[in-house]
């Protein structure tokens, strides 16, 4: 084995040990069942003081808006107060897992679908089904969107907001070239590749048509769905080595034609930092985005950006939860925590405060009331979201346990292929092998 190969193996072993320790923590937290002091379906406490801990990730703007909604809840329910903890995404779940090991996790936990199956199976989060229809009203949430928080027909998490997939395209760059795409996008990947190559040519190579998105697990999932597959088949990968090879070769071809940026340009944005998005840095004319991120992207650039669907069939799209709120399964006041969740998604005043910072409101009535008050930019985002989700495919199954590691594994494979350290076939084979092992380990 080469020295570089030994280093990769060492990093991989350290990764397995670290993630194994995290799962051991969750397993410890699950021992003894998940029932809190309240019976399932119990009403919120109103006759004695209640203090609930709330955790979420995000920036200062999200923290400010979330705190305002919590303050409003306290104003309407004076017996309930809150302590809060928020931070960036990196390390967030490590902190949740550690607190769960001490049986002291926050009463309300913001999660994404990457950990939903794992947390439900480990009984870290409560089954919310007993509260559905009483304390928790979900009839104004699109069933497809609500279904993303269900596992085995039990509701474990309620979407705080929704969004869908898009390409953010720099109108300022492409319109003078006569290359502004129609709002319906490109009928095929070949058509898209030809467009992106023309953009690169038209700018004299100063701006590439599209960022190399081969490391983007969400984009890969979309492409799989266009090809009749899902990211997961139960607790196994839903893709083969041949599928991953085809994906990596697709992007290799786009790089070779000049349509896509080099791996060197793409790499800084692979971790998902929006400030390093290559449309913001003006290195490419297009990059993957979720529609609700348009506002933040526009704030970071003086160029005009538009949303365009992913190339090819919109069967790859789906209405996805940007985040969920869940209740800690061992909480002493689960019924009250559920009532707070209900307040976040159904109260019109709460909806007006939250706006679209997390995404579009999940409650149809709240959304309809808010849209007339939106800026033109937000109305544009809402219209895009409505148009794409109306054409979207079925809601994918809840991600497998271990999903939160898949993104990092794909980044490693894509960068190995993009920088020429491995062929697409070699990188694909290693990715599938590691992904399979990780999913098996996560469920053991």
SS3 per-residue string spanning 256-275: HHCCECCHHHHHHHCCCCHH
Count of beta carbons in the 10 Å neighbourhood of residue 78: 9
Q: Are both 157 and 275 inside the same structural domain?
A: no
Q: Is residue 309 a part of any domain in this protein?
A: yes
| H helix or E strand, kind and range, residue 150 | strand 150-151
| Count of the separate structural domains present in the chain | 2
Residues 350 and 439 in one domain: no
Place of tokens 């474990």: 156
Q: Is the domain of 202 the same as that of 350? A: no
Instruction: Note the helical H segments in 258-319.
Output: 263-266, 294-299
Helix (H) or strand (E) holding 349: helix 348-354
Calculate the average pLDDT of the chain.
90
Residue 339 has pLDDT above 80, yes or no: yes
Worst-scoring range by mean pLDDT, 9-13, 40-44, 51-55, 318-322?
Answer: 9-13
Residue 138 lies in a domain: yes
CA max distance for the chain? 70
Beta strand 286-290 pairing with 236-237: unpaired
Selected residue with higher pLDDT from 233 and 6:
233
197 with 341, same domain: the answer is: no
Please indicate, yes or no, if residue 273 is contained in any of the structural domains.
Answer: yes
Section 260-274 average pLDDT: 93
- The label of the residue with tokens 């305002």 reads 68
Range of the structural domain that residue 433 is part of: 165-317+402-443
Flag whether 1 is in a domain: no
The domain that contains 370 carries what CATH number? Answer: 3.40.190.10
For 191-233, the pLDDT digits (tens) are 999 999 999 999 999 999 999 999 999 999 999 999 999 999 9
Please tell me whether residues 292 and 230 are part of one structural domain.
yes
Same domain, 169 and 157: no
Tell me the three state secondary structure of residue 90.
Answer: coil
Q: Note whether 357 and 407 are same-domain residues.
A: no
For 15-71, how does the pLDDT look when each residue is reduced to its tens digit (9 = 90+)? 433 444 444 444 434 433 333 456 899 999 999 999 999 999 988 889 999 999 999
Same domain, 128 and 213: no
**pLDDT of amino acid 274:** 85
Strand partners, 305: 170
Tell me the C-alpha distance between 157 and 57, whole Å: 16
Alpha carbons 220 and 80: distance in angstroms, whole number: 43
Residue 392 covered by a domain: no
394 found inside a domain: no
Q: How confident is the model over 73-121, as pLDDT tens digits?
A: 999 999 999 999 999 887 899 999 999 999 999 999 999 988 999 999 9
Strands 158-163 and 165-170: unpaired
Which helix (H) or strand (E) segment is 327 a member of?
Answer: strand 320-327
Tokens of 27: 């397993």
Lowest mean pLDDT, pick from 135-144, 186-195, 351-360: 351-360
pTM for this model (two decimals): 0.83
Structure tokens at 438: 């990780």
Same domain, 193 and 125: no
Q: According to the model, what pLDDT value does residue 37 have? A: 58
Q: Give yes or no: residues 333 and 302 share one domain.
A: no
82 phi, psi to nearest 5 deg: -135, 145
Band (4; pLDDT cuts 50, 70, 90): very low
- Total residue count of the chain as it appears in this document: 444
């Amino acid at each position: 084995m080469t020295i570089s190969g030994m280093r990769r193996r060492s990093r991989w072993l350290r990764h397995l040990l670290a993630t194994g320790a995290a799962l051991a923590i969750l397993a410890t937290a699950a021992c003894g069942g998940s029932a809190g002091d309240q019976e399932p379906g119990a009403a919120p406490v109103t006759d004695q003081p209640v203090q609930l801990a709330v955790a979420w990730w995000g920036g200062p703007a999200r923290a400010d808006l979330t705190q305002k909604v919590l303050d409003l809840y306290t104003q309407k329910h004076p017996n309930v107060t809150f302590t809060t903890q928020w931070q960036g995404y990196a390390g967030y779940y490590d902190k949740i897992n550690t607190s769960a090991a001490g049986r002291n996790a926050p009463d309300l936990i913001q999660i994404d679908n990457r950990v939903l199956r794992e947390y439900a199976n480990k009984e870290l989060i409560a089954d919310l089904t007993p509260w559905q229809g009483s304390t928790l009203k979900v009839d104004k949430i699109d069933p497809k969107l609500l279904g993303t928080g269900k596992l085995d027909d039990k509701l474990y998490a309620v979407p705080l907001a929704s969004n869908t997939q898009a390409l953010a395209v720099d109108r300022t760059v492409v319109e003078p070239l006569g290359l502004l795409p129609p709002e319906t996008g490109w009928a095929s990947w070949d058509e898209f590749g030809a467009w992106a190559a023309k953009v690169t040519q038209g700018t004299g190579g100063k701006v590439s048509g599209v960022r190399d998105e081969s490391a983007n697990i969400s984009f890969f999932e979309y492409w799989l769905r266009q090809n009749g597959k899902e990211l997961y088949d139960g607790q196994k990968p839903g893709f083969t080595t041949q599928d991953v090879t085809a994906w990596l070769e697709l992007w290799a071809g786009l790089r070779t034609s000049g349509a896509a940026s080099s791996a060197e340009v793409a790499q800084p944005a692979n971790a998902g930092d929006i400030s390093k998005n290559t449309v913001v840095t003006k290195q490419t004319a297009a990059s993957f985005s979720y529609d609700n991120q348009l506002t933040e992207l526009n704030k970071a650039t003086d160029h005009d950006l538009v949303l365009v669907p992913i190339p090819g069939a919109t069967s790859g799209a789906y209405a996805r939860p940007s985040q969920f709120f869940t209740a800690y399964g061992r909480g002493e006041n689960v019924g009250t925590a559920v009532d707070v969740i209900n307040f976040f998604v159904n109260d019109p005043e709460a909806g007006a405060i939250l706006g679209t910072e997390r995404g579009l409101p999940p409650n149809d009535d709240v959304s309809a009331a808010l849209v007339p008050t939106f800026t033109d930019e937000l109305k544009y985002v809402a219209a895009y979201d409505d148009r794409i989700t109306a054409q979207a495919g079925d809601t994918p199954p809840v991600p497998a346990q271990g999903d939160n590691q898949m993104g990092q594994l794909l980044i490693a494979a894509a960068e190995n292929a993009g920088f020429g350290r491995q062929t697409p076939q070699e990188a694909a084979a290693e990715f599938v092998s590691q992904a399979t092992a990780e999913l098996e380990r996560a469920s053991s």
